[in-house]
Structures are given as C-alpha cells and as structure tokens.
Amino acid sequence: MTNASELKLSVLDLCPIVRGGTAADAFRNAVDLARLAERLGYERYWVAEHHNIPGVASAATAVVIGHVAAGTSTIRVGAGGIMLPNHAPLVIAEQFGTLASLHPGRIDLALGRAPGGDTATARALRRYFQEVDAFPREVRELQGYFRPATPGQAVRAIPGEGLDVPLWILGSSDFGARLAADMGLPYGFASHFAPDLLFDALAIYRASFTPSASLAEPYVMIGANAFLADTEAEAARLFSSHQQAILNLVRNRPGPLPPPVDDIETLWSPAERAAVERMTRVSVVGTPDSVRAPLQSLVKAVQPDEIIISGQIHDHAARLRSYELLMEAMRTA
C-alpha cells in the first residue's frame, strides 16, 4: 500500500497569466517555481497545452518546456500534456527529440486526445475534432518515430529516433485508461478538474494492463489541486482565485487568473457553486496540519504512484509558499 510520506509529488503548471500580469511574467514565474520544485524534491514539472484561453500562457508547450529545462538542472520537465489531435506526430517527435537531445534523461511526453480549446480554435489549428478518433493510431505512429530507424524507413524523426522520451497517456475517462493499459504505458488521470470517473478509469487501467518493454506494472499519476498557507483563512482566500477561474469557465467567459476575494459566496449562484465544487473536489485547502489527513485519505482511497499538483494562485510568492508547505505536509504524513 502506498504511503503518503513516500509518494512522488510533481508540479503541473498552466503558466497562469494573472489579472494585471503578462505572459512574460508567467514564464519568469514558471522557471522560478521549477527551481523551487527542484530544490524541494518534486519529481517532475509539467506544463499543459491549451489554446485561446486568456489566463493560460503554455500554448507553445514545447517552447515553454525548453525554457524551463534550460533554467533547471535535475528535475524532469515535460508536457502534461500535448494534445496530439492538434499536431502531426512527426512534428511532436522532432520537437521532443530536440528537447531530449538538449536535456538528456529529463524530458517527458504525456499525450491527451482533447483539443485544448474550442471548435473554432481547433479549426484555426488546421486540425479537426474527427481527428480524435485517430488518437490510438497516432500515438503508435509517434511511438514509432522514437524507435531506432529501420533499413529503408522513408520518414524519420531527426532528432528523435532512438532517444529515450518516456510516453504517458492522459485522460479523464475510460478511453485513455484502456489505451494506456493496452500499450503498457503510464497513465495520468485529470482528477484536478474532471474527477467524476477517477475510480472507474483506474480500475480499468489496472485490471487490463499489459506489460510492455517500457513498463512492467501499472503506473498511476493523479492530478490534485493544492492551496496551502500559514493560516486556514489565507489558504481559503488563495483558493478563491482558482474557484473564480473555474466559475468563469462554467460561464464560458475565461479570462486571466483573478485576484483572491474574501467572500466567494457573493459571486455565484447555487447551481454554479455546485458545478465548481464538483470540478474541484480533488483539492486540499488549508495549513500543513489540516491537509495532512485529507491527503492521507486520498492516497489510501486511490493508491496512486504519484500525484501531480496544480496550484493556480494569483500571488507568485504565495504560490511558491504553497508548494513549500505541501511538501512539508506530505513528508510528515
């Protein structure tokens, strides 16, 4: 049984553009947070592909990964994830082959099948939603580009072929769970914003897992939100920025990450509150002492091998402090 104090912890960064800030600020903050995560012993630092969302700066995901990897030295850096339907697999193989050549042994590539944006954005990317149906085939094509080239191979990823770029499958339903199990790949579940099928998907993945050359046993990562501070009141206040961001998505009015508020209850209707709470229920909010038991309960219930933590906090210094306090809570659990 997984022990919370021994669990691997990682960072998921959407490179938030805060209200009053810029993308340049977001990228400086990303390197700052990654360096802290490296010092604290976090396992990996992933950024996620999103498009046409005013509060998210990580659209050019491979470029951001290169920026973060160049600013750190030991922590693994990668995509959590690349939305493969938006791209030709060869292009992703070349991008991540380049990253792996520049930063050997440190680059991860997790793949999702969502577009990372709306229909209009998918069309602007020159890829279409029907491409999602090709996801398993395109994952296998991408996987092939990282293998050593065979004699007479017509198309090769240079750089890319023969490089060690670990692939992951991401998802929030049983589709990704089945594919990851069939391919013998590690699986990451997006429970930090879509937790409804968490237990069903992980049960399917574990029960149907087929060992592969890259992975002998199932490996599960789950997403969680964490908002820690030195007092309960301040942690709840920090959380309100993320709650507002999710509320704006529910209203289909995404924007920069809002500053915290003292009374979130004045901002939403009962139905909106229910929607936000459903999407954010895999979250811990409080001090190291108060979140320790919820973290232990989460680990006991899910038995993940790793938890990747998202902390959408408006104030950068408070965000750094939250990740410090989280590691403190986990290591004393």
Q: What is the pLDDT of residue 132?
A: 52
220-228 and 187-189: which strand pairing?
parallel
Helix axes 61-70, 89-102, angle to 10 degrees: 10
Other Cβ atoms less than 10 A from the Cβ of 203: the count is: 13
Is residue 2 very low, low, confident or very high in pLDDT (cuts 50, 70, 90)? low
In the numeric block, the tokens 């990996």 are attached to 44
* Contact assessment for residue 72 and residue 38, using Cβ atoms and an 8 Å cutoff: yes
DSSP characters over 54-68? TTB--SSHHHHHHHH
Residue 144 has pLDDT above 90, yes or no: yes
Q: Work out the mean pLDDT of the chain and round it to a whole number.
A: 93
For the domain that residue 74 is a member of, what is the CATH number?
Answer: 3.20.20.30
CA atoms within 13 A on the CB side of 308: 28
Give residue 181's domain range. Answer: 4-331
Residue 140 has pLDDT above 70, yes or no: yes
- Write the pLDDT tens digit of every residue in 256-289: 999 999 999 999 999 999 999 999 999 999 999 9
28 token code pair: 């400086």
- Write the pLDDT tens digit of every residue in 214-261: 999 999 999 999 999 999 999 999 999 999 999 999 999 999 999 999
Which residues lie below 8 Å from residue 300, measured CB to CB, with a gap of 6+?
Answer: 1
Is residue 134 very low, low, confident or very high in pLDDT (cuts 50, 70, 90)? confident
Distance in angstroms between the alpha carbons of the first and the last residue of the chain: 14
d(CA 163, CA 177): 25
Domain count, the chain: 1
d(CA 280, CA 246): 8
Among the listed ranges 109-118, 176-185, 285-294, which one has the minimum average pLDDT value?
Answer: 109-118
Q: Where are the alpha helices (DSSP H) in 103-197?
A: 119-124, 135-145, 174-183
Report the alpha-carbon angle 18-16-38, nearest 5.
Answer: 125
Is-above-0.75 flag for pTM?
A: yes
